[in-house]
């Protein structure tokens, strides 16, 4: 099978390419780091030639990005990839979306829950989903809604740095925080690629909901792995926002882009409880518990830091 992967040099994209190559697939990589742009219709059309499937991961992920920029890449870019794939009559088109399209909700979110995005990023992903679904009469499409990805990337590196410095938990921390380890996400994407029953459907991809911790539980797992003995502190939401404004300002003076911005408060307080029953019925389930994912994430980040110091 010949597969086009957009966003192939990204955190998830790199691992996906490795997994596809293990499956003996022929992979066409498409990423801005290699001078490729999904806003360039000619480039995407050329790369799509002869492909049997397209796995569309390329997107702007930053919550702080403006709506115009988000729509340009996450919506118009997706449209360009869809048009190229449709001309090739590919056998499967997979969009990596986000459970963020559900917005704020109570209880557990299944795929049938009405989308209610609130942030600009969530709105752009919801719009991209609608575009993809509009092509299901032309080619088989699948939407994979990923929970917040846990793994050794810059996002979690900054979270760990904040925990080491004693940054407090904002709110009571009792909200559920169901994530997905990046290797599990990749395995799920490949599973959906080779499963014909997944056509024209949407699926939540996350860790086992029964085992997912609260925010307090997740922080405690990291603290334990990092060897932090001092008890975690909690601060009210309003004070937490003020703290984050100061942090963002201080990081800005250092020329450092922070993922822990005032908008981050909404992420912290959000209920993250998702049903994965639909993809379970197809035969997929996550391999990593949150505890295992945290251990692997800390281990990998510390290994990279040591390698960097040694070199």
Q: Is 222 inside any structural domain? A: no
And the tokens for 132? 């993809």
Q: What CATH number is given to the structural domain containing 203?
A: 3.40.50.720
Catalytic center residues: 121
Q: Is 259 inside any structural domain? A: no
Task: Check residues 67 and 237 and name the one with the higher pLDDT.
Answer: 67
Whole-number Å distance between alpha carbons of 302 and 311:
14
Q: Is 161 inside any structural domain? A: no
Q: Is 169 inside any structural domain? A: no
Whole-number Å distance between alpha carbons of 221 and 223:
6
Q: Is 49 inside any structural domain? A: yes
Tens-place pLDDT, residues 300-309: 999 988 776 6
Q: What is the average per-residue pLDDT within 114-142? A: 96
Whole-number Å distance between alpha carbons of 268 and 98:
16
Q: Is 60 inside any structural domain? A: yes
Domain with 20, as residue range(s), is 2-150+179-207+273-287
- Give the number of domains in the chain: 1
- The distance of Cα 181 from the centroid of its chain, to the nearest Å, equals 10
Q: Is 138 inside any structural domain? A: yes
**pTM (predicted TM-score):** 0.94
Q: Is 221 inside any structural domain? A: no
Average confidence score pLDDT of the chain: 93
Tens-place pLDDT, residues 188-199: 999 999 999 999
Q: What is the average per-residue pLDDT within 181-206? A: 98
Q: What is the average per-residue pLDDT within 163-182? A: 93
């Amino acid at each position: 099978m010949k597969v086009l992967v957009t966003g192939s040099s990204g955190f998830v994209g790199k691992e996906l390419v490795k997994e596809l190559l293990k499956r003996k697939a022929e992979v066409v990589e498409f990423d801005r780091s290699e001078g490729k742009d999904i806003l360039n219709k000619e480039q995407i059309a050329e790369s799509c030639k002869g492909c049997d499937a397209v796995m569309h991961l390329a997107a702007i992920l930053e919550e702080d990005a403006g709506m115009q920029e988000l729509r340009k890449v996450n919506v118009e870019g997706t449209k360009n990839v869809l048009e190229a794939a449709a001309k090739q009559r590919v056998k499967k088109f997979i969009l990596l979306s986000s459970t963020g399209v559900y917005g704020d909700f109570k209880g557990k979110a299944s795929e049938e829950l009405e989308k209610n995005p609130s942030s600009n990023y969530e709105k752009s992903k919801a719009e991209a989903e609608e575009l993809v679904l509009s092509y299901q009469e032309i080619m088989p499409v699948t939407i994979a809604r990923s929970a917040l990805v846990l793994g050794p990337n810059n996002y979690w590196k900054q979270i760990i740095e904040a925990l080491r410095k004693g940054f407090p938990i904002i709110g009571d921390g009792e909200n559920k925080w169901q994530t997905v380890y990046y290797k599990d996400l990749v395995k799920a994407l490949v599973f959906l690629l080779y499963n014909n029953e997944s056509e024209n459907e949407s699926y939540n991809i996350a860790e086992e909901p029964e085992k997912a911790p609260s925010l307090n539980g997740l922080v405690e797992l990291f603290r334990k792995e990092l060897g932090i003995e001092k008890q975690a502190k909690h601060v009210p939401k309003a004070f937490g926002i003020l703290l984050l404004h100061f942090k963002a300002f201080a990081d800005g003076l250092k020329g450092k882009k922070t993922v822990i911005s005032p908008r981050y408060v909404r992420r912290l307080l959000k209920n993250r409880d998702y049903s994965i029953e639909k993809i379970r019925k197809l035969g997929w389930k996550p391999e990593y518990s949150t505890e295992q994912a945290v251990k692997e994430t800390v281990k990998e980040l510390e290994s990279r830091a040591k390698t960097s110091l040694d070199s």
